[in-house]
Chain A
Amino acid sequence: MGAALQVKNISVHYGGFTALDSINLDLPKHTTLGLVGESGSGKSTLARVIAGLVVPNEGQVLLGPELLKRKRSREQHKKIQMIFQNPDASLNPKHSIRQILSEALLFHRIVDRAQVGTRCKELLARVHMDESALDRYPHQFSGGQRQRIAIARALSVEPSVLIADEPTSALDVSVQRSVLDLFSKLKSELDLTLLFISHDLGVIHEISDTVAVMKQGRLVEINDKDQFFSRPETAYSRELLSAVPRMPNLKPSGGFHEPRT
């Protein structure tokens, strides 16, 4: 199985500050990489470099066999899509959902103008939303619904790599779960490769196949999910994991107990 995306020796400096320090990362096809780290560790900068929003000072990004240059082609832009943390800020409040979805479809010439309407409905169905949503505006939806619309827009151009930058942090816990379920379902249906950024280790555990940990612009650990959560290699990962608040043990002692995995 080849790599869908390779990040080679990427460094980014903002003035004298090193945001990313020679990062090397491979994303195998159809897997989910969970990227964790504290705020300021460079997670979002890495995502932006991959999406082409930040030009790195050094290093290169490869999409499959293709080298992504400083100036990307429309096709290359299309292949990598990104979903942001705050759905309020990423949807234009003056555009109806129909405009929001069809703009990307027309720009990347995914379908003919005549078929845009039907495709928009398909996209909404894909993220479990009613087609009556098309003529409404972002403010008429809840946060979870808006995030679904942002997902539908990202998927509309049929990307091969999807970057999700803290997509559930602004959402309620009950909605978070349904959005995560949606991600896993879409990933298997559409053969996506997913880069999922979160600081919430519970979320990362739920969705990832591989976990990468960042600290101060460096990758400190890349590990298989189960390995990472039970036997992290570095002291920093251990520190992160032990800081997660856990539910108290609610099961009465004795009786049936699920074995540890």
Chain B
Amino acid sequence: MMAIRPVLEIDALSLAAKSNKKLVDNVSFSLSKGETLGLVGESGSGKSLTLRAILGILPRGIEQVGGTVKNEERSAMVFQDPRGSLDPLCPVVKQLTEVVYYRQRLSRRASRKAALELLHMLGLPASLQTSDRYPSQLSGGQCQRVVIAMALACKPGILLCDEPTTALDVTVQKQIMETISALQVELGFAMVFVTHNLAIAAAMCSKLCVMKEGKIIEQGNTLSLLQNPQNPYTQMLMNSVLPVPELEGSD
């Protein structure tokens, strides 16, 4: 018997292009409240499509041909390219206020207040309160924080992250990862985290699914999967994480 009801259940999901080419084949996993699941794999393995299927925003020409997606809670997504997912012609506080206004159904004034609170929670400068800025006037890391704030403004039960740190520098990547983890503890959302970097997946996720060519070839608890990979492809992915030696006197 399941102790906790899963908030997201995907059962034998299959997606295909118009040409009948299977892009995602028989993918199943489930996610409980507050849990983080990592989807790892290389480009073209169907990670992002799986996420889009959960949100119901499949690209034109791709259809769900089988399986079910059951989500109990609202989901929101953070995309890889922060600049590309913000409106370049709208200042960020205004953009975020818009999302809060429509999703949380507050008054205009209360929406703005909630938006500023969210931005503060994500560690953006307080100066935004007095002078709103356009996405091009913020750094990549700051833009990604705004995007995460927008996703959180939907009060999601499930946060879908599609390579949220790939376009960022290592130091910023570390900050964003820490921010996401802290927010998860605070707000208790479940998370699906897509990445091609196993080291990041290992740090963020409790469960892992390794995808290749549209199929899940291995899944399980992160640590045991990495300690004892069964599939040669998983092994290959692990070997391709280039090691950086430990710093002396770092611990």
Contacts and interface: CB of A to CB of B under 8 A. Distances in A.
Interface string A226-252: 000111100000111111111110101
Contact of A244 (B170, B198, B236): B170
B245 interface: yes
Contact of A199 (B170, B196, B237): B170
A245 B199 contact: yes
Dominant secondary structure of chain B at its interface with chain A: helix
A173 B196 contact: yes
Nearest to A237: B247
B174 to A, nearest CB: 4
Interface string A161-173: 0000000000011
B250 A245 contact: no
B73 interface: no
Nearest to A238: B247
B177 A245 contact: yes
Contact of B203 (A143, A231, A245): A245
B197 interface: yes
Given A173-B237, A245-B199, A248-B226, A260 B173 contact: no
A240 B238 contact: no
Interface in A137-163: 143
Contacts of B203: 245, 248
Nearest to B245: A229
B200 interface: yes
Given A243-B173, A245-B177, A245-B199, A177 B226 contact: no
B248 A231 contact: yes
Contacts of B186: none
Interface residues of A, number: 34
Nearest to B238: A247
Given A172-B43, A199-B169, A202-B242, A245 B248 contact: no
A247 B199 contact: yes
Contact of A174 (B172, B227, B237, B248): B237
A42 to B, nearest CB: 14
A131 B197 CA distance: 33
A232 B226 contact: no
Interface residues of B, number: 34
Contact of B171 (A200, A202, A229, A240): A240
B106 interface: no
B240 to A, nearest CB: 4
Interface string B134-169: 000000100000000000000000000000000001
Contacts of B202: 245, 247-248
A213 B156 CA distance: 40
Nearest to A247: B199
B238 A201 contact: no
Contacts of B243: 202, 205, 247
B227 to A, nearest CB: 5
Nearest to B197: A245
B223 interface: yes
B244 interface: yes
B81 to A, nearest CB: 13
Interface string B220-251: 00010011000000001111111111111010
Given A172-B43, A247-B199, A242 B247 contact: yes
B171 A239 contact: yes
B42 interface: yes
B195 to A, nearest CB: 10
Contact of A250 (B172, B227, B242): B227
Given A173-B196, A202-B241, A231-B247, 16 more contacts: A38-B172, A172-B43, A173-B197, A174-B42, A177-B239, A177-B240, A201-B244, A205-B243, A229-B244, A230-B246, A240-B171, A242-B250, A245-B174, A247-B226, A250-B226, A250-B227
26 contacts: A38-B170, A172-B196, A173-B196, A173-B197, A173-B240, A174-B237, A177-B239, A177-B240, A201-B244, A202-B241, A205-B242, A205-B244, A205-B245, A206-B242, A229-B245, A229-B247, A230-B246, A232-B247, A238-B247, A240-B170, A240-B171, A241-B247, A245-B174, A245-B199, A247-B243, A250-B227
Interface of B: 42-43, 140, 169-174, 177, 196-200, 202-203, 223, 226-227, 236-248, 250
Interface of A: 38-39, 143, 172-174, 176-177, 199-203, 205-206, 229-232, 238-248, 250, 252, 260-261
